[in-house]
């Protein structure tokens, strides 16, 4: 869909996993700055005809993706942990050391 078609679309459906894949591809494959990725995807989420489950969670994930400089899926896990009150993660992934409020434990 061209940007012109997107602007005229009355209804556009997508999923959080699609946003995640776009963010990861732009970050890893194309080396686009995370701030730019978040800015563009937040603009996409603001489209009046967009329908997506849990856009509030995706917005929070994009915020952590940038502010904590962690991969998108790590940011997603951090947001879900905060939402559910979970404070401990068992992982070798050092990215979680950057996120306040989460205690990383090595399995």
Q: pLDDT, tens digit, for every residue of 29-55?
A: 999 999 999 999 999 999 888 999 999
C-alpha to C-alpha distance for 98 and 95, rounded to whole angstroms: 6
Give the whole-number percent of the chain exceeding pLDDT 70: 92
Cross-strand bridge partners of residue 51: 13
More confident residue, 6 or 69: 69
The model's pTM is: 0.86
Q: HEC string of the chain?
A: CCHHHHHHCCCEECCHHHHHHHHHHHHHHCCCCHHHHHHHHHHHHCCCCEECCCHHHHHHHHHHHHHCCCCHHHHHHHHHHHHHCCCEEECCCHHHHHCCCCEEECC
């Amino acid at each position: 869909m061209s940007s012109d078609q997107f602007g005229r679309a009355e209804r556009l459906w997508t999923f959080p996993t699609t946003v995640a894949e776009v963010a990861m591809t732009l970050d890893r494959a194309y080396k686009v700055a995370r701030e730019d990725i978040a800015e563009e995807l937040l603009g996409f989420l603001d489209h009046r005809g967009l329908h997506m489950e849990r856009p509030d969670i995706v917005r929070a994930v994009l915020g952590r993706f940038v502010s904590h400089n962690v991969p998108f899926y790590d940011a997603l896990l951090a947001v879900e942990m905060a939402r559910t009150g979970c404070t401990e993660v068992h992982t070798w992934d050092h990215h979680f050391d950057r996120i306040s409020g989460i205690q990383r434990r090595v399995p």
